[in-house]
Amino acid sequence: MGHKFTLVLSREITDEEGELLKEAGFSGATFATDTLPTDADVTVTKVDFDDTAAPSLAEAIETALETVKKVPDLTVPGLTVPAVPQPPTEDGDVLVGEVVAETAAK
């Protein structure tokens, strides 16, 4: 399982721009046409990633954002990262924390 996230590009890209992005690092990404979440009249390209090469989600996203800059006049107005469920611990549902003794109010 890799680092999953989605970029919403500022416009619909051409086939040539898609090829440029694939050659620059988006080879495993899935491209789809969508609309801008804030304006349904604007057609954009959505790019879904499942990056298994980057050591962290942050690095995967940073690399993708840098790659988008290779296409002139293209920006990223949207980023979506799905929640990643954490496995339960031996002690129950608390992942991090400590018990604090209650003190009487004065």
Q: What whole-number distance in Å separates Cα of residue 64 and Cα of residue 59?
A: 9
**CA–CA gap between residue 91 and residue 24 (Å, rounded):** 45
pLDDT more than 70, % of the chain = 80
- In angstroms, rounded to a whole number, what is the distance separating the alpha carbons of residues 103 and 42? 57
Return the HEC string of 19-64.
Answer: HHHHHHHHCCCEEEEEEECCEEEEEEEEEEEEECCCCCHHHHHHHH
28-48 pLDDT, tens digit per residue, is 899 999 998 888 999 999 999
Q: pTM of the prediction?
A: 0.76
